[in-house]
Amino acid sequence: LPELLSPRNIHVIFSSNDMLPQSRREASLGDVRVCIVSFAMARLLHENLSRRCWRVAIVDESHSLRFVAGRPSLNTHAVLSLLAEVPRVLLLSGTPSASVYLDVFAQVNLLCPGFLGKSWQEFSRG
């Protein structure tokens, strides 16, 4: 792996001071090949992050992607919209599935849209 990725290839976004360059051109990223961002920062920097054509996304703590009363939380909405056009998405979670079956809708719908129904409401009526 060291021949594929080095520390200079990884960009961590801790705050808005760490946002990516404004240009859409891939060359504007320089050596950056991996960008790590939290759910909250993805929401706050949504416009900046959505300017890129991401090839792969890995979502850790994916159990945090949730709908509350049929609507996605602000962070969930931001992350789902960022990932909508990403061709390869890997969801990770070390947390067992919640006891409420509705909590898996956002994750499943992201990977396979419509599999559980056209909407959270349709899935919940189930």
pLDDT digits (tens, 9 = 90+) for 59-82: 999 999 988 888 999 999 999 999
User: What's the mean pLDDT when you consider all of the chain?
Assistant: 87
Q: 17-27 b/e with 16+ CB inside 10 Å = b? A: eebbeeeeeee
Q: With 90 as the cut, is the pLDDT of residue 53 above it? A: no
- The percent of residues above 70 in pLDDT, for the chain, comes to 92
pLDDT at 36: 92
Nearest-angstrom CA–CA distance, 16 and 116: 36
57 secondary structure, DSSP code: E
